[in-house]
A and B are shown apart, each in its own frame.
Chain A
Amino acid sequence: MSETRAEDPTRRNLPEELRNEYTVVGGEWQELPDAVDDDLMVINMGPQHPSTHGVLRLILTLDGETVLHTEPVIGYLHTGIEKSTEYRPWVQGVTFVTRMDYLSPLFNELGYCLAVEKLLGIEDDVPERAQALRVITSELVRIGSHLVWLATSGMELGAVSVMLYGFREREAVLDLLELVTGLRMNHAYFRPGGVSMDVPDDFDGRVRKLLVDMPKRIDEFERLLTENPIWGERNKGIGVLTAEQCLDYGATGPILRSAGIAHDLRKVAPYCGIEQYDFDVITTDTGDAYGRFLVRMGEMRESLRIIEQALDRLPGGPIMVADRKIAMPSTLGLGPDGIGNTMEYVNKIMGQSMEALIHHFKLVTEGFTVPEGTVYTAVESPRGELGYHVTSSGTNKPYRVRVRDPSFIHIGTIPAITRGLLIADVIAAVASLDPVMGGVDR
């Protein structure tokens, strides 16, 4: 693979002066256009651009309309979430990480909670109902995330109707998540040890309605796009990454699967009991933007299959570990002003039990302590391998939370997939990666 690397076209075929120039920030911008040949042109795209999926900035070196080199510039959405988690108790970390990749918030929470549970050594104690609810809700998020990808990609390629339909169908998913968690995004629903509250009674019926409706919608999308000649022209052969390149660049998820490698962490390193459900890993062998489209459409159907099976077998029982030193003692309920402590619980701690009040106070202000050590957990997010590399120093706060966000890794492939494309196709190529800048910059 090192030979491939040495001949990496993104580096080798550049003008000599540009080979070592990637980042152009601030004052260096002026030097770059001066440095290139008169025949070449340097164009700045973004960070505010309707087709860059957020605040992604691309510096394109063009020969006519052909892209010689693309340099992604990131960091415009950097909020220091990894640093912030080091100053808050373990439970509060959930509310931070859920804001990273804002299109798949529950996967962030899932990865973080699995890491904390692994550090605590309580993976096997998490109740089955909590595991199944995690699977159902996170697969719902996968459908919602792919729909946003479809909608925004369609819009960027000029298919506005796809944008409208995509966001409309996503509302159905968001309504379900709102029903369960109280929020449309940034749910903070998973907690180390389980989930924060049980699902309402009408959850089952409403998810089953989605299971009936959504396949029809996906059929509609496929009728609209799969054989559509314009959609094919814009996507086929665009943004190609071979399987070898994918591995070299660390690309996972739909990108790797579109290159023909059936790698899915839900199969090879299952979490939350997802191995007991029957589903297929969708692959194509084209490795281009069109292949990624087919993979994502197929994945939505597979997610529906998983949800249906999980719903059929949804066990009863608790939704949180039994250890009251970890589980929040409060019982949450939906009141007229949103989700909060139920009145029975408030009456109990305020009026009846001093010890319960002390316990509640200590857990809320101070949290639990986690044994020393480092773990790495990975979940298959809609974009690929979402890894949480969490270090504890034995205190009530994380010592270090590192997030291996797939979008961040995939941004690194942009020079490779855009080289030699026409400038209009850069949009399609970048869109096919489905980068979410909140996750890239963290």
Chain B
Amino acid sequence: MTDPNSTRKGADSASTRPTGAGPERSTPDMHGGEEARMRDHDVEVSVQLTDQLRALRDHLVDAFDDLEVVGFRGELTLLARPDRIFELLSFCRDDPDVRCELLADLTGVHWPGGKRVENQQETTGWPNYEYGQEIGRIEANYVLYSLTHNHRFRITVQLPDAEPVIASATPLYASADFMEREMYDFFGVHFDGHPNLKRLHMPDDWNGHPLRKDYPLGGVDVQYKGATVPPPDRRHY
């Protein structure tokens, strides 16, 4: 993985961020660095995961002690450090007990920085929901699947949204080619080592990355029988 600092566009974007995903914050800090720990390791995960996934979790945590484990609805998620993702994916593919032949999915979720309150419930008085983290980040989710052992789990990597760079998985899985290009197109994540990182769905000269949350949906008012209906991103329900 290249140093994100070396390709930063300028200091302006860093200073405007509320908590500063700036050059001085290296990516490991986003996990708490050395303090990375098992979140609710013994309680939450063990209740929800099957025996098979629990054994898999123990096996992976033994091999990579900086993994953070999250369980939700019976699915195993491993939070990994971005600089070790290639190593981890190689292990998951080649280790006989993990043996994930299929990179089933690779996708992203954008969590914008700052405190963002979505005021969507004003007609009802339901509580407003805050989402948005201190640091704007993009989650890269790798879904790995093993036909041999029939297990599926997710590796999540968190990248700063100002300068997301991560090692490409194309040397390991050919299927990563299109999925990484799609993620570059939609989220602006740079995959270091990808042979052909170009836009896939959007035209080559498109500006912006459409699935980021700060990219507007767009749309115009619609008139119907005299009434005006706002576009979906400006409706209040």
Contacts and interface: CB of A to CB of B under 8 A. Distances in A.
A362 B178 CA distance: 41
B188 to A, nearest CB: 15
A365 B124 CA distance: 11
Contact of A391 (B103, B109, B120): B109
A1 B93 CA distance: 9
A266 interface: no
A396 B104 contact: no
B104 A28 contact: no
Given A75-B203, A396-B120, A22 B198 contact: yes
Given A118-B73, A408-B178, A268 B200 contact: no
B226 interface: no
B190 interface: no
Given A87-B217, A395-B120, A396-B120, A402 B178 contact: no
Given A87-B217, A374-B141, A250 B121 contact: no
B103 A250 contact: yes
A409 B175 contact: yes
Interface of B is mostly: loop
Contacts of A269: 150, 152
A1 B211 contact: no
Given A74-B200, A250-B103, A408-B178, A366 B123 contact: yes
A375 B178 contact: no
A411 B143 CA distance: 19
B119 to A, nearest CB: 11
Interface in A409-430: 409, 411-412, 416
Contacts of B205: 26
B103 to A, nearest CB: 6
Given A1-B93, A82-B211, A389-B141, A249 B174 contact: yes
B203 A25 contact: yes
A400 B174 contact: no
B217 A1 contact: no
B143 to A, nearest CB: 5
Contacts of B120: 395-397
A83 B200 contact: no
A83 B102 CA distance: 26
B233 A247 contact: no
A365 B123 contact: yes
Contacts of A8: 174
Interface string B60-83: 000000000000110101000000
Interface string B122-160: 011010010100000000010100010010101000000
Interface string B180-215: 001000000000000110111111110000110000
Interface residues of A, number: 67
A366 B201 contact: no
A416 to B, nearest CB: 8
Interface of A: 1-2, 5-6, 8, 11, 19-23, 25-26, 28, 74-75, 78, 80, 82-84, 86-89, 118-119, 121, 245, 247-250, 252, 261, 263, 268-269, 362, 365-366, 369, 373-376, 378, 385, 387, 389, 391, 393-397, 399-400, 402, 404, 408-409, 411-412, 416, 441-442
What 10 A-B pairs come out closest when comparing CB atoms?
A: A250-B175, A75-B201, A402-B107, A87-B232, A412-B178, A247-B101, A404-B105, A78-B201, A393-B131, A248-B174
24 contacts: A19-B195, A23-B196, A74-B201, A75-B200, A83-B210, A84-B232, A87-B217, A87-B232, A121-B73, A250-B102, A250-B175, A366-B124, A366-B237, A373-B72, A373-B73, A374-B75, A374-B109, A376-B105, A378-B152, A395-B118, A395-B131, A397-B120, A404-B105, A411-B178
Interface of B: 72-73, 75, 77, 93, 101-105, 107, 109-110, 118, 120-121, 123-124, 126, 129, 131, 141, 143, 147, 150, 152, 154, 170-175, 177-179, 182, 195-196, 198-205, 210-211, 217, 232-233, 235, 237
